[in-house]
Amino acid sequence: MLYRLYSLCVPQTGCTTETAVRRYPTTIDRGLTDKAPPDVETVYDALLHRERLEPEKTTMGSRRVLGISERINEKTGKLWRYFQLSDYEWITYREISQFTRALGAGLVQLGLEINDRVVIYAPTSREWSLCMLSCYSQSLQVVTAYDTLGADGLLHAMNESEARLAFVKADQMPMLEQIADRVKYVKTIVYYTDAYGMPQSYQDALKKVRSRFSVMHMDEVHELGTKYPRDLCIAGRDDTALVMYTSGTTGAPKGVLIAHGGLLSICGAIHELVPDFIDYETDRVLSYLPLSHVLAFFVETYCIYSGICIGYGTPRTLTDDNVDGSLGDLRTLRPAVMLGVPQVWNTIRATILRQVSQRPWLIQQLFHGAISLKAWLVSYGLPTFLLDNVVFRRTRLATGSRLKIAITGGAQVNPHVQRFIAATVCPMIHGYGLSEASGLVTVQIPGDLTVANVGPPVPSVEIKLVDMPDAGYFARNGQGEVWVRGPSVFQGYLNNEKMTSETITSDGWLKTGDIGQWTQLGQLQIIDRKKNLVKLAHGEYIALEALESAYSSSKFVANICVCADSRMSQPCAIVNMDPTHIAHWTREAGIYFSSLDEISADPNFVTLVLDDLIAVARQNALLRQEVLLDICIDTELWTPENGMLTAASKLKRAAILQRNKCAVWHLRKQHKAHNNKEKTAEQAGN
3-state secondary structure 632-647: EEECCCCCCCCCCECC
The pairing of beta strand 141-144 with beta strand 165-169: unpaired
**So what's the pLDDT on residue 424?**
95
**Is the separation of the CB atoms in 461 and 441 below 8 Å?**
yes
Distance between CA atoms of 209 and 102, rounded to whole angstroms?
25
Query: In the prediction, which pLDDT does 680 show?
Result: 53
* pLDDT computed for residue 444 by the predictor: 95
Q: Going from the N-terminus, what domains does the chain have, and what CATH number goes with each?
A: 48-64+86-281 (3.40.50.12780), 536-685 (3.30.300.30)
The per-residue pLDDT for 195 is: 65
How many Å apart are CA 59 and CA 44, to the nearest integer?
Answer: 16
HEC secondary structure over 260-282: HHHHHHHHHHHHHHCCCCCCCCC
Please tell me the predicted confidence (pLDDT) of residue 596: 76
Residues of the chain with confidence (pLDDT) below 50: 1-2
Contacts of 162 (CB under 8 A, 6+ apart): 117, 184, 185
Report the pLDDT value the prediction gives residue 34, as an integer from 0 to 100: 93
Beta strands, E only, 579-655: 630-634
What letter represents residue 374's amino acid? Answer: K
List of residues 6+ apart from 469 with CB closer than 8 A: none
Phi, psi of 386 (to 5 degrees): -65, -45
Euclidean distance between the first and the last CA atom of the chain, given in angstroms as a whole number:
54
Q: What is the pLDDT of residue 122?
A: 95
Residues whose CB is less than 8 angstroms from the CB of residue 525 and which lie 6 or more positions away in sequence, other chains included: 452, 453, 454, 516, 517, 518, 519
Residue 681 confidence (pLDDT): 52
Name residue 135's beta-bridge partners.
Answer: none
pTM of the model: 0.87
- What is residue 504's DSSP assignment? B
Contact 452, 445 (CB under 8 A): no
What is the model's pLDDT at position 264? Answer: 96
CA atoms in the 13 A half-sphere facing the CB of 458: 33
In terms of DSSP H, where are the helices of 20-116? 27-30, 43-53, 93-109
Bridge partner list, 510: 484, 504
